[in-house]
Amino acid sequence: MKTKIVLLFFIILAFLTSYTGCGRQKQTITAAGSTAFQPFAEKLADQFMSINPDKGVIIQGGGSSVGIQSALSGAADIGMADLVDLPPEAKSLTATVVARDGIAMIVNLKNKVDNLTFGQIREIYNGKIKNWKTIGGNDHSITVVSREAGSGTRSSFEAIVKNITLTKEAIIQDSNGTVRETVINDPNAIGYLSHGLVNDKIKQVSVDGVHCTTDEIMKGKYKLVRPIFLLTKGAPKGLAKNFIEYILSKDGQETIESSGLIPAK
């Protein structure tokens, strides 16, 4: 009788252990914000989860403003922002720089312009230079392509170039990818995007004679550069801390560099 009771006890214990294990939910965090950093964050999250299969990291876009507000409200565990300077409302958040990113000026492959000065870029985006012929290109009007208000890429671009009041004729796109596609499909378009997303379907022009390359950025010669911040409410903790530490690790920083961004360290 005693043997049966002991056996029954172990059967019940095994069942409860199995049930608890099956019911245990994967620990998951969300990072939201910068659409420029989003594809790189997704790659880093995949690598992190392959090492930690019991952990989950959900990456969402929305722009740097969304990243800041999501971190402030708690809607996301980590906010992602790519801004030269964080706005006052973000000062209460803990900001960790995980990378730096060049902003490349791009034109269509058929465009013969190879270099622009900061002054020319400013006048193009202000709508004062309207024809490519004025700056050594073909006799055709310029299609100005910019990001939407709230974009970290746009805010950083305008902060570095300075004194831009965007022309009302500009085409507004909501991501680096759509800016790139617009320039690919319009021979007279000009745009700007993360230099990690430049491909062989578009042409990158130098700015004041300096190309947007990792080497020139690290030398401090290319000036259109902004940091990538990961923002948390208070000091990073738990899984959010683990993920940020992974991005700052040797493996994470190597992924950032091989993907076209500049390591934070």
Q: What is the pLDDT of residues 129-176, one digit of tens each?
A: 999 999 999 999 999 999 999 899 999 999 999 999 999 999 999 999
Q: Residue ranges of the chain with pLDDT lower than 70? A: 1-24
- CA 224 from centroid of its chain's CA atoms: 15
Does residue 86 contact residue 229 with C-beta atoms inside 8 Å?
Answer: yes
Residue whose entry in the numeric block shows the structure tokens 């791009």? 106
Beta-carbon contacts of 11 under 8 Å, excluding residues fewer than 6 positions away, are none
For residues 192 and 258, membership in a common domain is answered with no
Provide the whole-model pTM.
0.79
φ and ψ at 47, to 5 degrees? -65, -45
Say whether both 38 and 146 belong to one domain: no
pLDDT at 24: 53
Residue pair 246/254 in contact by the 8 Å Cβ criterion: no
Model pLDDT, residue 20:
39
Domain holding 252, by residue range, is 28-99+228-263
Are 45 and 79 contained in the same domain? yes
What was the pLDDT predicted at 45?
A: 98
The pLDDT value recorded for residue 260 is 86
Q: What is the pLDDT of residue 120?
A: 98
**For the residues of 29-42, what is the DSSP string, one character each?**
EEEEE-TTTHHHHH
Tokens read off for 21? 């294990």
Instruction: Report the CATH number that the domain containing residue 61 is assigned in CATH.
Output: 3.40.190.10
Number of structural domains in the chain:
2
pLDDT of residue 8: 38
User: What stretches of the chain adopt beta strand conformation (E)?
Assistant: 27-33, 55-62, 78-81, 94-107, 115-116, 143-147, 171-173, 189-194, 203-207, 225-232, 262-263
Q: Are 69 and 92 in contact (CB under 8 A)?
A: no
pLDDT at 265: 77
pLDDT at position 13 is: 38
- Return the pLDDT at 26: 85
Q: Are residues 207 and 243 in the same domain?
A: no
Q: How many CB atoms lie within 10 A of CB 168?
A: 7
